Amino acid sequence: MLGKITVFLFLLLLIWGNVVAGLGVGLACPDWPLCHGKIIPPPQFDIYMEWMHRNIGLVATIFLFILSYKRFRNYSGSARSIPVITIFLLLFQIVLGGIVVLLELPVDFTTVHFANALIIFALVFYMAFFDGKEKMPSFSIEGFSLLFVILGLMVFCQAVLGAYVRHSGAGLACPDFPKCLGFWIPPELSGTVLAHFSHRILAYLIFITVAIFYALSYFSLGLRANRSKISILLVLIFLQIILGVSVIHSKLFFLTAALHLSIALLILSTVLYAWFQEMKENRV
């Protein structure tokens, strides 16, 4: 239960942060760690959105420390490094969050901040999946596990690239769909257009990759056991592409963008679950 609550808190933290960014209130608390020099800031909507993001982060941090402590005691061997690494990344995230505020949201820092948050989320998911009461599996990147690792890396890169597109102002660099600026391949691939177009191409590649996995599941016994998860991924990715188009047509409406991230996190969670399940069934 502790692991599930911690995963939920980090899901909420990531989505809430996306809403804050969509509303453009990331600097509503211009100082750190206080907000307008106070523990409880003035009652104003934009200030409270950012302040609540910090408070959710605080609660998630407390739960993560407790979860990491319990897993460190239960894990054995190299698996004990997981909670330790997670805590170090969390401390780095806290410092980086302060830097992002004090330097007024530089694009590179906000992207790294999001990427680090995704890594923490993946490690929290691992600790929620493996409680350490059974024999710990070795990290497997062979066979079908490798397929899900590759897919997971693709989804991770896509999410980070999406964050860069968002924070660099490239969200409407290609204001049309399915073409970009009236072309299937824009003649000038640079700057924000390159970032946005790359985000689209990687989305198509992920969809094609999962579609191939699904087709292969009819011929491979190993993938057949994962067909239900692959089917869920296909549906989620198709929905994600539709939402991506909606984000453009809604002119980056913050609720649409937040739902877009929510589906991305569900996709990542499904891939992680499939990978961890493979590790669990093939533990040595």
Instruction: Taking residues 84-100, report their average pLDDT.
Output: 87
Distances (CA, A) of 213 to 120, 203, 205: 27, 16, 12
Least confident of 59-63, 144-148, 236-240: 144-148
In angstroms, the first-to-last Cα distance of the chain is 26
Residue 141 clears pLDDT 70, i.e. is over it: no
Average pLDDT score, the chain? 85
Least confident of 5-19, 46-60, 102-116, 146-160: 102-116
Distance (Å, rounded) from C-alpha 266 to C-alpha 270?
6
Residue 114 clears pLDDT 80, i.e. is over it: yes
pLDDT of the residue at 44:
83
- Contact between 172 and 206 (Cβ < 8 Å): no
pLDDT of the residue at 283:
58
- Contact between 129 and 72 (Cβ < 8 Å): no
Residue 148 clears pLDDT 70, i.e. is over it: yes
pTM: predicted TM-score of the whole model, two decimal places: 0.88
Residue 67 clears pLDDT 90, i.e. is over it: yes
Q: What is the DSSP string of 19-65?
A: HHHHHT-TTSS-SSSSBTTBSS--S-HHHHHHHHHHHHHHHHHHHHH
pLDDT in tens, 232-271: 999 999 999 898 889 888 888 878 888 888 999 999 999 9
Percent of the chain with pLDDT over 90: 33
Q: Phi and psi for 35 in degrees, rounded to 5?
A: -125, 110
